[in-house]
Chains A and B, each alone.
Chain A
Amino acid sequence: MHRRLTLASAGVVAALLLTACTGGAGEAEPEPAGSPDPDASVSVRLVLEPGNLNVRETSGAALDQILIDNIYQGLVTRTPEQEIEPALADDYTVSTDGLTYSFTVREGVTFHNGQELTPQDVVWSLQTAKDTPAYVDSDRLAKVSSITAEGQVVTLTLTEPDSQLLWTLTGRAGLIFKEGDDTDLATAANGTGPFTLASWRQGDSIVFARNDAYWGEPATSAEIVFSYIPDTSAAVNAALAGEVDVLTGFDATLAERVEANGDFEVVTGPSTDKGTLAMNSLTAPLDDIRVREAIRRAIDHDAIIEALGAGETLYGPIPPLDPGYEDLSDVVPYDPEAARELLAEADAEDLDLTLTIPSFYPTTIPQVLVSQLAEVGITLEVDSVEFPVWLQDVYTNRDYELSFVLHTESRDFENWANPDYYFTYDEPRVQELYAQSLVATDEDEVAELLSEAARIVSEDMAADWLYNGASVLAVANNVSGMPTTNVNSRLDAAELGKS
């Protein structure tokens, strides 16, 4: 099946001071006094800048985060709470056999260049997405056999049910473009969203301007400036000097510093970020399930959350925001004594292991792992590598022992059903359950099948899930409408305002 992984730099920069974060998960955003100024320019700090803006051909969470919903739209979209709702379709129906999807395309929608959206544009966009393997997520439309338009209604016919299809249409593969448009998507954009792309200064900022011809509720602010400030202290200083209004990807342990002058508040929201410790089970000693279990039992997950200052524990591949979540903490409770016994049983005492980690992650996680694994006699060597090197060695060649990556993508259980993925996990029962979940037409049944599969993955010690990350933001007191859920994946700026 398809393989997918998106990365975001965690909001967890160097372990400085352990200060308590003010917000609990899901805390409501602060309500500022005064109503938002329609002429305001709101400045948002982001961490990872996209290499180019071609959302059809270039992968990476940095593009999804800002372009989808704000600039480009699909027939349907997802709310921060991961619900699916109509967007460019004002209505849709799914046949009971799950084989026919009918979307009524909204009328009166124009692209940023003034051209009108037609049902033919929808057909063309989805058809080219399906037919062009080089496009991101193209293979996710594999079960679609025909795409036709009649009047305002676009109909997708499937060869077999696909419980993921609507979700797919809220993502890259479902975005609608103007047929025959010659915009250079690498540096410019022409979508239907509430914002137009005003400018992109590479290495600095991307600016969105309110689309006054927008078909829906107009954006609250005249302008949103996304400033790419990778350096954490530069970001905090910029906030304190009043140069940015919102910091995303914030380090919860720095809450006290940014809140010191009373202009900012640190808020957290749930996310689908999964801090994943992959274990290569193709090579010794990690091919022994006892060794993998020992590693998981040796890790004090609560201590990791404490070191990060935010987030929740997670003991399986599905986070609470996704269908199929189940609390799996009973599978491997923290127990260093049991870990030592397991290692002795596996004849793997005094183990030396290497952790390969992309260098843009902060050192907190490796530090905690080194000291916790040392407790049970495992010497962990940390190999911090540039992302292209990680892609080559770990992802493509699967040449690694342990690897840490923050997987931000929602509903990405498929990776555990794909033996070719870098996780190296190959379990027919899981693959079968996942396949069943795809053709199931009932949501509850889908969730049940996924949760059963997820338990098997966890019980097989396929990996360890160090934590379920939180969206950590520092928001200025005069800012309203900042989404707080899952902003590493999607940052809908339509309601973002400043008074």
Chain B
Amino acid sequence: MLRYALTRLALLLVGLAVASVLIFATLRVLPGDVAQLIAGTQGTPEQVAAIRERLGLDAPAVVQYLDWIGGVFSGDLGSSLLTGTPVATELLEKAQVTVPLGLLALLVALAVALPFGVLSALWRARAAGTAVNVAAQTLAAVPVVWAGMMLVVVFAVWVGVLPAQGFPRAGWSDPAAALRALVLPALTIGVVEGALLLRFVRSATLDAQGRDYVRTAAAKGLTRTQALLRHGLPNVGLSVVTVLGLQVAGIIVGSVVIEQLFSLPGVGRMLVADVAARDLEKVQGSLLVLTGFVLIVGFVVDLAHRVIDPRQREAA
């Protein structure tokens, strides 16, 4: 187990190193630069060159990369080229919106997917099962933006119980207001992601139903449903954990769209603005942290798998 964990950790670090090079390189391919944006449309070429020099953008790419990575190793993610604010400070501030949003969305997704996924498998021969299945297919196909707009129109504009956009300026010092601001965005991502997950839970449940151990349990006198619930579901849970790990990345991507739609000052919206402003130092720092986060989630999921599922341990 320890050997597995160490190998897996080494893989994680290699992944991060590769990602850092990719992030750095792809950003450098983008046309246009921040110096030109600061100088604007009055800037002479000399002014643009002076700004570029002041920001250290005139150094060779390799030097810039090594500077950056060297900083990262000493705990410095860099700072915004535009405001000079440290990337870590900005990320922490924006994460206060995005992380709770992601967690809430995940909760909503699970609340939708687990019960209805199992039910639709159990009821697959009945009309109710078909109804759940069709509903899930439909919801999964709904564009997130449209779903969000509908929720806003109903709950913010018509009923007026929830805010249509924005996040309280006081942040989490007023938890109720902060939470209220996240309800509609979390529902929007959660329901759509949940519908996707539901179909997965359903097929995992159906698969479990056909397994030997469920049949054996049924032969010992349990009803098929009892057998499935007691012996099948733990295995379903295991595969759901894996899919959830993958969904973390999906939710981060989804937050980019949702934060625009709901004008939430989160990580996703920050990234979009920073790319548009060519604040590359900030973008690469933020992306590295996000990539690291996703890789670590994958790492944890893999380890959790080994711990939960004895068969994988034996196989190793």
Q: Which residues of A contact B (CB under 8 A)?
A: 2-7, 49, 51-52, 57-60, 133-134, 136-137, 184, 186-187, 199, 201-205, 207, 225, 227-231, 233-234, 237-238, 240-243, 386-393, 395-396
A192 CB, nearest partner CB in chain B, Å = 23
Q: How far is the CA of A4 from the CA of B41 in the complex (A)?
A: 6
A204 touches B31 (CB 8 A): no
Residues of B within 8 A of A57 (CB): 38
Considering the complex, give the chain B residue whose CB is closest to the CB of A405.
Answer: B41
Interface pairs A-B: 8 shortest CB-CB: A59-B40, A388-B32, A204-B265, A5-B41, A241-B164, A237-B164, A51-B82, A241-B156
B267 CB, nearest partner CB in chain A, Å = 10
Partner of A199, one of B30, B93, B152, B169: B169
Spot the interface stretch: B102-110, B217-225, B235-243, B272-280.
Answer: B272-280
Beta-carbon contacts of B277-298 to A below 8 Å, as 1s and 0s? 1110000000000000000000
B276 CB, nearest partner CB in chain A, Å = 6
A187 touches B84 (CB 8 A): yes
B166 touches A393 (CB 8 A): no
Q: A199-B169, A203-B265, A388-B32 are in contact. List 9 more A-B contacts (CB 8 A).
A: A3-B41, A3-B42, A49-B273, A51-B37, A186-B84, A204-B263, A234-B260, A388-B30, A393-B31
Q: Which residues of B contact A (CB under 8 A)?
A: 30-34, 36-47, 50-51, 82-85, 90, 93-94, 149, 152-153, 156-157, 160, 163-167, 169, 260-263, 265, 269-270, 273, 276-279
A392 touches B32 (CB 8 A): yes
A391 touches B51 (CB 8 A): no
Residues of B within 8 A of A387 (CB): 32, 37, 276
Q: How far is the CA of A137 from the CA of B44 in the complex (A)?
A: 11
Q: How far is the CA of A5 from the CA of B34 in the complex (A)?
A: 17
Q: How far is the CA of A390 from the CA of B40 in the complex (A)?
A: 11
Residues of A within 8 A of B169 (CB): 199, 201, 204-205, 207, 225
Residues of A within 8 A of B50 (CB): 133-134
Partner of A234, one of B32, B164, B167: B164
Considering the complex, give the chain B residue whose CB is closest to the CB of A140.
Answer: B42
Q: Which of A207, A225, A242 has the most CB of B within 10 A?
A: A242
B134 CB, nearest partner CB in chain A, Å = 29
B269 touches A203 (CB 8 A): yes
Considering the complex, give the chain A residue whose CB is closest to the CB of B149.
Answer: A233
A234 touches B36 (CB 8 A): no
Q: How far is the CA of A389 from the CA of B33 in the complex (A)?
A: 8
B32 touches A51 (CB 8 A): no
Considering the complex, give the chain B residue whose CB is closest to the CB of A241.
Answer: B164
Residues of A within 8 A of B83 (CB): 51-52, 186-187, 202
Q: How far is the CA of A58 from the CA of B261 in the complex (A)?
A: 28
Residues of B within 8 A of A229 (CB): 165-166, 263
A238-B166 in contact given A6-B41, A59-B40, A60-B40 (Cβ < 8 Å): yes
Partner of B38, one of A5, A58, A392: A58
A4 touches B31 (CB 8 A): no
A204 touches B38 (CB 8 A): no
Partner of A134, one of B36, B47, B84, B93: B47
Partner of A227, one of B39, B42, B166: B166
A59 touches B265 (CB 8 A): no
Partner of A237, one of B32, B38, B156: B156
A388 touches B33 (CB 8 A): yes
